[in-house]
Amino acid sequence: MNQDTICAIATAQGGAIGCIRVSGPEAIDITSRIFTPAAAGKKLEDCKPYTLTFGRIYEDAEVVDEVLVSLFRAPHSYTGENSTEITCHGSNYILQKVLQLLIKNGCRMAKPGEYTQRSFLNGKMDLSQAEAVADLIASSSAATHRLAMNQMRGGFSKELAALRDQLLHFTSLIELELDFSDHEELEFADRSELCQLAGSIEKVISRLVHSFSVGNAIKSGVPVAIIGETNAGKSTLLNVLLNEEKAIVSDIHGTTRDVIEDTANIGGITFRFIDTAGIRETSDAIENLGIERTFQKLDQAEIVLWMIDATDASAQISQLSEQILPHCEGKQLILVLNKADLVEKSSNTISINLPENIKSIRISAKEKMNIDGLQQMLITAANLPIVTQNDIIVTNIRHYEALSHALEAIHRVQQGLANNLSGDFVSQDIRECIFHLNDIAGEVTNDMVLQNIFGHFCIGK
């Protein structure tokens, strides 16, 4: 149990109402030193938990603000400690003044993520649930919200706990045999049943590992590279998709020399758009560096928007197809014929030959023509599943790495059983698998890992 009492502002600046959280063994006592209930003779320490008390915050004899104080008693609070939440007016002056009074009376400022860290250390949640709190705060779409909510409610933890229980039962039977190694005829663990159990566990872990590609796309955004020759309209399209002037637009060739990235939510899906330097022959060393980065980002993308000036489509396709197409294998490639409004105004027609698996669309980024059609093509190309709060999809790289190690261990278990290895070798691999699953829940996590995880939280949470 932590011995010091912490405080922090838990709400964003600029609102009409602000909230300050206080947690620790002296939370109620310290709050009562600066807070006086409006009802005569009433004391905060005598109030029942889960109640609101109206009153005033005083500095000496001067009223700072009229507030509401919520009271929680250990262990029935978010942190598992005595806690109060002071709801006051959202003035930055008032919030800072209340903080100063709390610190003057024995509190210290909370570190980033310290409330959730205390909740974890006090057994209110496991580490995967604690990490989901940060994901919930950062959720920017319905899908990321549902995944974070499921994890925070313990859906992922329950799945891991079920696996660990099966593995522990599994290894206990094998180790019981080892205790009676002098009696070779004794076999507590039926090998055929163990093979079936290992197979079922391998399927679950494998499913979780493979779900990370979808989970990462949902959480971080589906990476979309916008590529093409200079002056094809890539930066203009980026600005339209983001609905802001993110990239400089100019008639001068080679304006974009570095990668520009930003995200946008389209149809409930987060896309991470990457505007790249135009591909062309140039002697400019800086521009060539930008073109090199273009191909690096192209390799990382899942969807590629190949922007082409529709007034010169055939020439651009023939010039760049040998450079671009090899990098697009296994990706969703959409040919975007920009400036189509100029073609429609003239007698020219667009004549191109493309493989059947490459889709194309005519737009005008400048005139915002057919942008909704392009957005629909992006949604289709992303091909993300509809996520519910019951779905268990891995979105955290730390969890993915631990599950990958667990999968390797269970594969060794299967191989050991198939090759009739000694029970002590099989048992060791089972325990290694359990170790990596426990790592996700935080049962074997060291202080350095905890500092890294909670250091990325916002203050007040």
The 10s digit of each residue's pLDDT in 304-332 is 888 888 887 777 777 667 777 777 777 88
352 annotated ligand-binding residue: no
Same domain? 200 vs 235: no
Q: Give yes or no for residue 386 having a pLDDT over 80.
A: no
pLDDT for residue 4: 93
Q: Does the pLDDT value for residue 257 go beyond 70?
A: no
Q: Residue 347 pLDDT more than 50?
A: no
At residue 6 the predicted structure's pLDDT band, cuts being 50, 70 and 90, is very high
Q: Is 339 annotated as a binding residue?
A: yes
Mean pLDDT of all residues in 12-18: 90
Q: Is 328 in the same domain as 232? A: yes
CATH code, domain carrying 332: 3.40.50.300
CATH code for the domain of 53: 3.30.1360.120
337 lies in the same domain as 267 = yes
Within-domain flag for 115: no
Say whether pLDDT at 5 is over 80.
Answer: yes
Select the more confidently predicted residue: 348 or 291: 291
285 in any annotated domain: yes
Tell me if 340 is assigned to a ligand binding site.
Answer: yes
Average pLDDT, the chain: 82
Give the confidence band of 285 by pLDDT, cuts at 50, 70, 90: low
CA distances from 322 to 199, 288, 326, 329, 330 (A): 45, 18, 7, 12, 16
Confidence of residue 92 (pLDDT cuts 50, 70, 90): very high
Do the annotations mark residue 341 as ligand-binding?
yes
DSSP sequence for 392-439:
-----HHHHHHHHHHHHHHHHHHHHHHTT--HHHHHHHHHHHHHHHHH
Alpha carbons 376 and 216: distance in angstroms, whole number:
21
Per DSSP, 364 falls in state B
Report the Cα–Cα distance between both ends of the chain, in Å, rounded. 18
Q: Is residue 247 part of a domain?
A: yes
Task: Tokens for 276, please give them.
Answer: 């790249």
Q: Is 276 annotated as a binding residue?
A: yes
Question: Are 373 and 230 found together in one domain?
Answer: yes
Check the annotation: does 21 bind a ligand: yes
Average pLDDT over residues 10-20: 91
Examine residue 450 and state whether it is found in any structural domain, yes or no: no
- The residue that leads in pLDDT, 142 or 72, is 72
Domain count within the chain: 3
Q: Are 360 and 272 members of one domain?
A: yes
Residue 56: closest CA among 72, 73, 26, 32: 32
Q: Is the pLDDT of residue 441 over 80?
A: yes
pLDDT of amino acid 119:
92
Q: Above 90 in pLDDT, residue 24?
A: yes
Whether the predicted pLDDT of 185 surpasses 60: no
pLDDT at 139: 82
pLDDT band for 249, please (50, 70, 90 cuts). very low
- Name which residue leads in pLDDT, 35 or 165: 35
Is 250 annotated for ligand binding?
Answer: yes
Q: Does residue 1 lie in a domain region?
A: no
182 is in an annotated binding site: no
Q: Is residue 284 predicted with pLDDT exceeding 60?
A: no
- Is 384's pLDDT higher than 80? yes
Looking at the structure, do residues 65 and 152 belong to the same domain, yes or no? no
- DSSP secondary-structure letter at 459? T
Chosen domain end from 332, 357, 382: 382
Residue 87 pLDDT greater than 60, yes or no? yes
> What mean pLDDT comes out for the span 417-437?
86
pLDDT at position 253: 43
Q: Is 236 annotated among the ligand-binding residues?
A: yes
User: Does pLDDT of 226 surpass 80?
Assistant: yes
Q: Is 254 annotated as a binding residue?
A: yes
Q: Does the pLDDT of residue 181 top 50, yes or no?
A: yes
Q: Is there a binding annotation on residue 255?
A: yes
Q: Which amino acid is at 168?
A: L
Annotation-wise, does 327 bind a ligand? no
Confirm or deny that 144 is annotated as ligand binding: no
Q: Answer yes or no: is 446 a known binding residue.
A: no
Q: Do 245 and 368 reside in the same domain of the chain?
A: yes
CATH assignment at residue 150? 1.20.120.430
- Do 253 and 361 belong together in one domain? yes
**What percent of the chain has a predicted confidence (pLDDT) above 70?**
84
Do 14 and 97 lie in a common domain? yes
Identify which has the larger pLDDT, 338 or 97: 97
Q: Is 401 annotated as a binding residue?
A: no
Q: Is 234 annotated as a binding residue?
A: yes
**pTM: predicted TM-score of the whole model, two decimal places:** 0.74
Task: Report residue 246's pLDDT band, with 50, 70 and 90 as the boundaries.
Answer: low
pLDDT on residue 372: 93
Kindly tell me if the per-residue pLDDT of 289 is higher than 80.
no
Q: Is 345 annotated as ligand-binding?
A: no
**Same-domain check for residues 337 and 316:** yes
| In a domain? residue 134 | no
Mean per-residue pLDDT, 228-255: 69
pLDDT tier at 256, thresholds 50, 70, 90: very low
Residue 422 is assigned to a structural domain of this protein: yes
What is the mean predicted confidence (pLDDT) over 351-368? 77
What is the average pLDDT across 375-401?
A: 87
Between 170 and 103, the more confident residue is 103
- Asked if residue 364 belongs to a known ligand binding site, the reply is no
User: Per the structure block, which two tokens stand in for 181?
Assistant: 């190694």
Q: What pLDDT was estimated at residue 353?
A: 60
**460 domain residue, yes or no:** no
Boundary residue ending a domain (110, 131, 164): 110
pLDDT for 170 equals: 77
Query: Is there a single domain that holds both residue 98 and residue 185?
Result: no
Residue 440 pLDDT > 80, yes or no?
A: yes
Residue 412: pLDDT band by 50, 70, 90 thresholds?
very high
> Which pLDDT score, from 0 to 100, does residue 30 have?
96
Same domain, 348 and 440: no
* CA trace torsion 383, 384, 386, 389 (10° rounding): 170
Range of the domain at 275: 220-382
Tell me if 55 sits within 8 A of 36, measured CB to CB. Answer: yes
The residues near 324 (Cβ < 8 Å, ≥ 6 apart) are: 227, 279, 298, 304, 306
Residue 85 assigned ligand-binding role: yes
Of 333, 348, 382, the residue at which a domain comes to its end is: 382
Confidence of residue 254 (pLDDT cuts 50, 70, 90): very low
The pLDDT, as a whole number, for residue 56 is 95
pLDDT digits (tens, 9 = 90+) for 33-83: 999 999 988 999 999 999 999 999 999 889 999 999 999 999 999 999 999
Q: Order across the sheet with 260-266: list the strands.
A: 260-266, 269-275, 222-228, 303-309, 332-338, 359-362
Reported as a pLDDT band with limits 50, 70 and 90, residue 118 is: very high
